[in-house]
Amino acid sequence: MGVTNSNKVINTDRISCDGSVRVTLALTAAPDIVSNPTDIVVILDRSGSMTGAPLADMKLGTKTFIDLIDEATDSTQDGQIGSGSRMAIVSFSSTAVANTQLITSVAALKTAVDGLTAGGNTNHADAFVKATELFDPSSPNAKVMVMFTDGNTTTGAPPAPVAAAARAQGITIYCIGLIGSDGLDINALNNWATDPDASHVAVTPDAADLEELFAELAANISKPGATDIVIDEVVNSDFVITSISSPTKGSASMLDAHSLRWNIAQLGVTSSESASLDFYIRHVSRQPGTKLVNESITYSDREGNLVSFPKPTVSVACDIVVYPEQCPEPVELTAACCQDSVLVDLGDVELQSQGQIIQMDVTLKHVCPGKRVALAAILTEVDEEGVEHQRGMKAMTIPAHNFPMCRDILVKCIRFVLPEDLSVSCRRMCTPRKLKARFLANSIDTDYRCCESDLTL
């Protein structure tokens, strides 16, 4: 069967600006269907939400799947599923029905698919029951279910126990999900499918992708597992790889801060087998937004399996950073390699004050959109008797932001030149100086306007 499933998932869809994400890569491979006859029941959702393009795309994807299985079992699309394998169609809405038994006729399978119409609610439990009843417990054939659905359960018994009972009978369950108009509980699909979830569940928001998902599940079915697997992952430049867990199969190593390689000697050459790899990445950019996790990912093996991985995205929320004071402009200079000294004129520097420089950052909490903020920073020094001495005050206006919700704003690099005060801070050599910093912040509710009236003293 070659590589029957590939997936890439992340453990969260939203992080802070310096947050981390766990990424899971997963593969499943199985032996050649010719030497490993398989009974496959395809379970198709025909509830009311499938009306129109979703139903048409599902039919196209299912018939592509049937053709690929046909060719895989006897090396030609001759209208018969060969080598002892069989296929059945089950469809469901408010209730489920076996549209065919386990048969080998491609024409009969496609006729059953073409005859489906959409309408009614969504009863996943009954669909699993009808599909399970089609398998012969005494048959030596491998047993596979492919569940397709576009929505959440709206009627019938809870489906999870029924799916668990099917898995307990040795049935491998794959789930293909279309995020339909009523939403889709991906956690439910993960719960129904055979573990690991990442290699047995595929989800898309676009019905046009269904043919590709069905085809990917079937396209590699003629290949005898996979050997000499190499997966190269390059993460988005806004992230760095922080750690790699030991994979369940093979070995993985970090090539640099943004890339890794996963090697697997063989997978699924004697029986269906899955492998997964977890690694962690951290966001290092200061720019917020919805970002692709990976820049690229490539797969290769000796058998030439065609494998693609999803491209998950994560939403990154970064605080607004305001720099009320700019650093001085630098003057560039060059020193030759064999030059003992360098003489350069850096121009004039205005003497601000004598002493140390204090630099502070402060985060303004819950600043709402469209509101400017008046911010004041006050610095004092405390002498040995506990008396405070003024060292400076700065006032600034923080511009309004236009994000849809209130958010935190990080104000950086508020600097004070701390003068030497012999009577306070230098009574003894190398004595620590005790300082106090205070911040005052208020929203500016109205725009500033110059006074229009004359003032007479």
What angle separates helix 210-219 from helix 53-74, to the nearest 10 degrees? 10
Respond yes or no on whether the N-terminal peptide bond of residue 137 is cis (omega within 30° of 0).
Answer: no
Q: What is the pLDDT of residue 263?
A: 97
Q: What is the pLDDT of residue 445?
A: 65
Query: What does the alpha-carbon distance between residue 86 and residue 84 come to, in Å, rounded to a whole number?
Result: 7
Locate 287 and state its tokens.
């720019």
Q: CATH top-level class for 321-325+353-444?
A: mainly beta
CATH number of this structure's domain 33-222, picked from the four choices 1.10.8.60, 3.40.50.10440, 3.30.530.20, 3.40.50.410: 3.40.50.410
Residues 173, 166 contacting (CB under 8 angstroms): yes
Predicted structure pTM score:
0.49
Express each pLDDT in 190-244 by its tens digit.
999 988 777 688 888 888 888 888 887 775 445 567 899 999 999 999 999 999 9
Query: What does the alpha-carbon distance between residue 435 and residue 453 come to, in Å, rounded to a whole number?
Result: 43
**What is the C-alpha R_g of the chain?**
33
Name the residue among 125, 189, 134, 186 with its Cα closest to residue 159: 125
Name the residue among 314, 315, 269, 249 with its Cα closest to residue 25: 249
Q: What is the pLDDT of residue 220?
A: 46
Mean predicted confidence (pLDDT) in 50-69: 92
Give whole-number Cα distances, 194 to 121, 200, 271, 333, in Å: 25, 6, 15, 64
Residues 355, 416 contacting (CB under 8 angstroms): no
Q: Find all residues with CB under 8 Å of 141, minimum gap 6, and list them.
A: 37, 38, 39, 84, 85, 86
Query: What does the alpha-carbon distance between residue 291 and residue 312 come to, in Å, rounded to a whole number?
Result: 9
Return the amino acid letter for 111: T
* Residue spans per domain, the chain: 33-222, 321-325+353-444
Residues 274, 27 contacting (CB under 8 angstroms): yes
Express each pLDDT in 360-388 by its tens digit.
899 998 888 888 899 999 999 888 888 88
Query: What does the alpha-carbon distance between residue 427 and residue 434 come to, in Å, rounded to a whole number?
Result: 13
Q: Comparing 444 with 277, which gets the higher pLDDT?
A: 277
Identical fold between 33-222 and 321-325+353-444: no
Mean pLDDT rounded to a whole number for the chain: 86
Q: Comparing 288 with 304, which gets the higher pLDDT?
A: 288
Name the residue among 50, 177, 59, 185 with its Cα closest to residue 121: 50
Helix residue ranges per DSSP H, 320-396: none
* Res. 457 pLDDT band, cuts 50 70 90: very low
Q: Comparing 72 with 312, which gets the higher pLDDT?
A: 312
Residues 372, 397 contacting (CB under 8 angstroms): yes
Residues 37, 143 contacting (CB under 8 angstroms): no
- DSSP annotation of 264 reads E
Q: Other CB atoms closer than 10 Å to residue 237's CB: what's the count? A: 12
Q: Other CB atoms closer than 10 Å to residue 391's CB: what's the count? A: 22
